[in-house]
Amino acid sequence: MKKTAMLACALPLLAPLALADNLGFDGKIVEPDCDAMGAWFNCRKIGTAPADVRRGYEYIHHTSKTLGPDGNKKYPDGTPYSTTTIACSSCHFTGGHVPFGTPMYQSPAKYAGLPYFRPLNYRRDLEDSILDCFRNCMNADRTPTKTDPVMRDMVAYIRWLSDGVTDPNMQGPGWINLPGNGLPVVDPDVANMSGDPLAGRGLFNAECATCHSKDGPGRGEYRRGENRPRVPALWGKDGYSRGAAFYNSQNLAGYIKEHMPLGDPLTLSAQDALDMAVYINDQPRPAGMADQMFCHTETDGIPGPLRKPASWLVGCTYPSEPFTDQDILYGPGAPSAAWRNAEINRLKGLN
């Protein structure tokens, strides 16, 4: 997992860079395969976009250098928007252009209908989703308002990105048809797999530490003068929080297998990727909003903890659930998922 420039990508790096060629990047980055995407997406150059879109792209792709503690954009009172070195593009490759790299070209249509966000029991729009990322991925104690200029520029960029979708069958309510809009699945049978953090530590040191440093947190985007690419911190104060989607080790394992090592993806086994994921998620990291998740009763009377993903150790627990934290963190997830589903059916009077 010799990671560079973010977590890294299964799609090939293009010789003629499609989007980032005029923005002065300081290391290898993951680029979309615009030729392969050409039937449904137009990879326009960001340099020709309107000013607000270009600013939004800078905030999303160069987050720490713009919104971070040493950045050039701060709240009116001088407080930075982000106190970490992590970037939005640490997870949303090349500012959200790469299929299966948590792209954002589907986001405006996805959030237009205010979908229900089960972990926190509310309906959220695109701006709400960005705010949750500030809290759970950038570990921000303070978040911008929905009318903040930074928020408006980020939304403008994401909407510009969505405008690149040229196939009408993939626009609007059909956003779910867009290729690679979801996270990759590490293995169809992952629910019956267990991760081994000790094996994961050895694999991490052998495959990942060259770029991420053996201490995992590394130095985030700040690797100036080291002749090394930019990479995100994986844990510590600059790592994603326990409320982030990657704290679900099945999600992280799929991402690792699909995108790592940079330039040599899809070469790790599903088991190796899962072992690495549970090792990475065993390390200390901020709480984010994790402690607030699934701590509610849903409108049908079912307690939220029963609907947590089986491999995501966040929020409240159901009192009689017979599974340890290690069961949830390392797997297999199938037993806890089956138990929770049976309890839901019992509460509904279905068994």
**How far is Cα of residue 228 from the mean position of the Cα atoms in its chain?**
23
Tell me how crowded residue 342 is: count the other CB atoms within 10 A of its CB.
13
Q: Is the Cβ–Cβ distance between 57 and 78 less than 8 Å?
A: no
- Please report how the helices 149-162 and 51-61 are oriented relative to each other, as an axis angle in degrees rounded to 10: 100
Architecture, CATH, for domain 1-284: Orthogonal Bundle (1.10)
How do residues 225-274 score in pLDDT, each as one tens digit? 555 556 788 998 888 999 999 999 999 999 999 988 777 888 999 999 99
pLDDT tens, residue by residue, 111-140: 988 999 999 999 999 999 999 999 988 888
Give the pLDDT score at 5: 37
Q: What is the pLDDT of residues 284-333, one digit of tens each?
A: 999 999 999 999 999 999 999 999 999 999 999 999 999 999 999 999 99
Instruction: Grade residue 207 by pLDDT with cuts at 50, 70 and 90.
Output: confident
Question: Could you read off the pLDDT of 170-190 as tens digits, one per residue?
Answer: 877 778 888 888 889 999 999
How high does pLDDT run on average in the chain? 85
Concatenated DSSP letters of 256-312: HHHH-STTSTT-S-HHHHHHHHHHHHTS----TTGGGTT-SB-TTS-BGGGGS-TT-
Where do you find CATH 1.10.760.10 in the chain? 1-284
Per-residue pLDDT at 76: 93
The alpha helices in the chain, defined as continuous H runs, are 34-37, 51-61, 63-66, 93-96, 107-112, 126-136, 149-162, 197-207, 209-212, 249-259, 270-281, 325-330, 334-347
Cβ distance 247 to 290 under 8 Å?
yes
Q: Provide the pLDDT confidence category of residue 351 given band limits of 50, 70 and 90.
A: low
Most confident of the following: 164-168, 208-212, 334-338 = 334-338
| pTM given for the model | 0.87
pLDDT at 108 exceeding the cut of 60: yes
pLDDT tens digits, one per residue of 159-171: 999 999 999 888 7
For residue 218, name the pLDDT band (cuts at 50, 70, 90): low
Burial class (CB in 10 A: 0-12, 13-18, 19+), 103: buried
Res 137: pLDDT: 86
Task: Assess whether pLDDT exceeds 90 at residue 221.
Answer: no
With a pLDDT cut of 70, the percent of the chain lying above it is: 87
